[in-house]
Amino acid sequence: MGSVGAARNSRARRATGWAMLAVGITGCILPVIPGILLVLAGLVILARDYVWARKALRYTRRRVVRVRRQARAKRAEKAMMSRNGSAEA
């Protein structure tokens, strides 16, 4: 009996993940729905069952880290420029 419940939970989880992914993709087009958040939530749910979803999440994590580093470097560069500019004036 436990396997029937587990299979039902697995199907429900996958259906929820696919639904969130679909609504999230739609939300990327429509301004009312928070698309990116729903896409990520759908990928997190689907990553348990699908390798491609895990790979997509891994890629997204790496990309976010790279963008954060670049933003941090730009802020530091701006801070240095403003300090140097105010010291010369």
pLDDT in tens, 32-47: 888 889 999 999 999 9
Give residue 79's pLDDT.
84
Report the chain's mean pLDDT, rounded to a whole number: 86
For residue 9, pLDDT beyond 60: yes
Domain span at residue 81 reads: 2-88
State the Cα–Cα distance between residues 49 and 9, nearest whole angstrom. Answer: 12
Short-list 66, 65, 20, CA closest to 28: 20
Give the pair of three-digit tokens for residue 27: 């939300």
Least confident of 22-26, 31-35, 40-44, 63-67: 31-35
**Based on the structure, what is the number of domains in the chain?**
1
The proportion of the chain whose per-residue pLDDT surpasses 90, expressed as a percent, equals: 54
For residue 1, pLDDT beyond 60: no
DSSP the chain: -HHHHHHHHHHHHHHHHHHHHHHHHHHHHSSSS-HHHHHHHHHHHHTTT-HHHHHHHHHHHHHHHHHHHHHHHHHHHHHHHHHHHHHH-
- Average pLDDT rounded to a whole number, residues 57-85: 88
pTM of the model: 0.67
